[in-house]
Structure 1
Amino acid sequence: MTEGRAHDGGPGRGPDRLSARGAIALLTDDFAELPYPARDSAPDGPLAWHGYDASRARAAERTGEEESVVCGTAAVDGTRAVLIAFEFGFLGGSLGERTGDRLETAYAYARAHRLPVVALVATGGSRMQEGMLALTQLQRVARQSVLTREAGLPQLSVLRDPTTGGGWATLGAGADVTLALPGAQVGFAGSRVRPPDADPAAYTARAQVAAGSVDAVVPPEELRQTLALWLRLLSGPTTGHSPAADDRRPDPALPPEQPAAPLPFALGAQELPRTGWDAVQRARSSRRPRAEAYLAAYFTHRVALSGDRCGGTDPDGMLCGFGEHEGRTVAYAAQTGTATRPAGFRTAARLIRLADRLGIPVLTLVDTPGAANDAEAERQGVGAAIADLFGAVAAARVPITTLLIGEGGSGGALALAAPGNTWATPDSYFSVIGPEMAAAILKRGTGEVESTADELRIRPQDLVALGVVRGVVGAPGGSTRP
């Protein structure tokens, strides 16, 4: 497939389109370019495309660059990283063999020096004048990305205008964290190859956020600060160690080396409920603190992951991201008290797998009446999404700490809970199913719902006695009650 503006520079750079050096200047003042490997080139390239050498010469004169990508190292507010910046003015930021050489050099340097990779993407796709040899550069990029991921190093991308074709499908969408500048065109199909009746609003950065493929749109004036926080959290003292890459612990069942995330304090009621129905009512109370209050109290700084990378988001049901707690990076996945959508489960699984790869401990907050069970949730694969989250939690080699802060409704809540390291607040409950539905399944009348709640033994103190949770946490300055 031919993609985007990948020939003689297209219409050129618009007045608001950043150059590669301009994009780098948004992040740092000490960029040092890497040396690039030399490559012999036949006249007019590998396909002997008439006029290709002249096109490259014009692009070099116009932009001051010798290729469509600039690679180097820099400190972004104190955190060193490898930066990859595309120059759209050079043949539409297209990928050719020399582009692939430079990208491979950058990734190899990042692994050798244990540095995160930041790609500032602006590309129309693969270079027409190099044909299939250009397209196969995407395989080189994918391989380098996988090797860097296996090394336990974070990869971040910033989408500029435009980000289309294979550059979007590798460096952009394939990053661990994907940010975008406002107004950026983002999509696999560039403006010259998409259907003539296609809705242009679907090919924007904001549309990709709504579709779960981009984490956030960040204004240029906030990019340095935002990216610096991401880099600090993902490359901080807790991170940089990949359990999967540690050959000193060949048995994945051995305890992880990282200390677990500390438990949050209980922010709501401190006394234990008298009855099962009392526990349910307190957990459902509108006055009870929700996830946002717990996260605000727990973290000094935090950044959010958004989207499941499968077309969906659940911003009202699941909050995911990374934050700083007492100088350490902790990942979090928190239910908000609503029914969790399939995209919420998948986003949490994405978060846990990324944290596991980077060696970052995880905190999960359980609070849901259950998984969404409407027809649309079934069409979106709610069962498979829950199974995926169960699997991510079970496979994690970093420690996961769970606090039940409200409702614990059935498998939709249990999927987010850490086996053997789940705790509860006094205003919470955990149940195989809500007491009302349990009574209905048992063919009991509405007058027996409260007694059913007692029989289910769903109070925090019941859960401790049953061995389902380890203990009930108290307020700041209080004790943790067994």
Structure 2
Amino acid sequence: MNWISEWALPKIKTLFGAPREVPENLWHKCPACEQMIFHRDLERNLHVCTHCGHHMRVGARTRMDYTLDEGWQRIELPKAPQDPLRFRDQRRYVERLREAQAKAGQEDAVVVAHGSIEGNRVVAAAFEFSFLGGSMGAGVGEALVTAARLAVLQDAPLIVFTASGGARMQEGAISLMQMPRTVIATRMVKEAGLPFIVVLCDPTTGGVTASFAMLGDIQIAEPGAMIGFAGARVIEQTVREKLPEGFQRAEYLLEHGILDLVVKRGEMRATLARLIGLLRTPERVVAPPPAEPVAEPLPALPAPEGPAVPA
């Protein structure tokens, strides 16, 4: 009998207590600079790297928490038909869909909410990239149409945070039909005289870029966000030219007039509040300048007395 294992170790464990399990997600590695960041520091900095400023991807509900005032409410969306084409590749599409729903805790790739930003009432929609790459199917199209109708009903601006790989090909032509549907939804908001603001996050590509994402009254992007339609290699093979470095990044698009602003995540809330205030404040009626006083004509002098002088 080994007295160390039978007597000494149990005494030591009793003295110091059982070893505590250390969670595996206490530290996060920045994908840009590869520095390790403590999870509380990362959350405090809104998931922006404290070393290099890289903006990491965040979920839809986290983005709502970062942007909207406390107390925002999520809108229940109408259910779209699932797997209308009975699509199957290596797995059935309906299985992939159910797995994504269980993982993300939502029905589809968009969350719609209403609330306020620094007291300014808004309706917001945010894409969840972890839900099948934020792809746009019938459910996403229905969510954006619902958000547009709610904005018109509440007389509030519509803000959409995009993060998507494009149309959801498992739904075929049905997914492509969401492009004109979302364009019509933006027209509903604009015809009601309400601001439509798009915040393009990393990544925004494919059919989302080719439809409503480029139709905002104000186009904003986060730093370093990849924005485009097709991949860089596909474009180079098509045009047979070497493209500039970073031509699909937010900073390049800002320089060439595609975007209006590139705003850091920590400044996004204040920037949106300022823009909404400017777009929603009624124009001031400028009073005309006071008319200059008109000088009264001098009275005519009386004619001199005496005989008239012959002409």
TM-score by length of 1: 0.45
Q: In the aligned structure 1, how far is the partner of 2:145 from the partner of 2:179?
A: 11
| Cα separation, partners in 2 of 1:262 and 1:193, compared to 1, 3 Å | farther
Give yes or no for the alignment of 1:161 onto 2:202.
Answer: yes
Equivalent position to 1:23, from 63, 68, 75: 63
Counterpart of 1:259 in structure 2 is: 285
Counterpart of 1:287 in structure 2 is: none
Q: Deviations over 1:326-363 (max 9, x none)?
A: xxxxxxxxxxxxxxxxxxxxxxxxxxxxxxxxxxxxxx
Say if 1:124 and 1:190, in contact at 8 Å, map to a contact too: no
Matching of residues 252-331 of structure 1 within 5 Å: 259-260=285-286
Counterpart of 1:48 in structure 2 is: 86
Matching of residues 30-179 of structure 1 within 5 Å: 30-41=71-82, 45-50=83-88, 51-179=92-220
Say if 1:95 and 1:125, in contact at 8 Å, map to a contact too: yes
Secondary structure of the 1:201 match is coil
Instruction: Give ranges in structure 1 of 5+ residues lacking alignment.
Output: 1-13, 240-257, 264-470, 472-478
Matching of residues 393-472 of structure 1 within 5 Å: none
Q: Deviations over 1:212-234 (max 9, x none)?
A: 11011111111111111111111
Say if 2:81 and 2:138, in contact at 8 Å, map to a contact too: no
Equivalent position to 2:268, from 199, 205, 223: 223
Q: CA deviation at 1:58?
A: 2.2
Counterpart of 1:383 in structure 2 is: none
Q: What RMSD in Å do the two structures reach over aligned CA positions?
A: 2.5
Instruction: Give ranges in structure 2 of 5+ residues lacking alignment.
Output: 1-30, 32-46, 48-55, 293-311
Q: CA deviation at 1:200?
A: 4.8
Q: Deviations over 1:446-466 (max 9, x none)?
A: xxxxxxxxxxxxxxxxxxxxx
Q: Deviations over 1:134-178 (max 9, x none)?
A: 011010011111121111000001110001122123332100001
Q: In the aligned structure 1, how far is the partner of 2:260 from the partner of 2:287?
A: 24
The structure number with the bigger radius of gyration is 2
Equivalent residue letter for 1:48: R
Total equivalences in the alignment: 232
Equivalent residue letter for 2:176: L
| Cα separation, partners in 2 of 1:114 and 1:89, compared to 1, 3 Å | same
Q: In the aligned structure 2, how far is the partner of 1:179 from the partner of 1:133?
A: 29
Q: CA deviation at 1:64?
A: 2.2
Q: In the aligned structure 2, how far is the partner of 1:144 from the partner of 1:173?
A: 13
Equivalent residue letter for 2:279: L
| Cα separation, partners in 2 of 1:57 and 1:119, compared to 1, 3 Å | same
Q: In the aligned structure 2, how far is the partner of 1:260 from the partner of 1:132?
A: 52
Counterpart of 2:259 in structure 1 is: 214
Secondary structure of the 1:18 match is coil
Q: In the aligned structure 2, how far is the partner of 1:191 from the partner of 1:174?
A: 23
| Cα separation, partners in 2 of 1:52 and 1:194, compared to 1, 3 Å | farther
Q: CA deviation at 1:129?
A: 0.2
| Cα separation, partners in 2 of 1:47 and 1:24, compared to 1, 3 Å | same
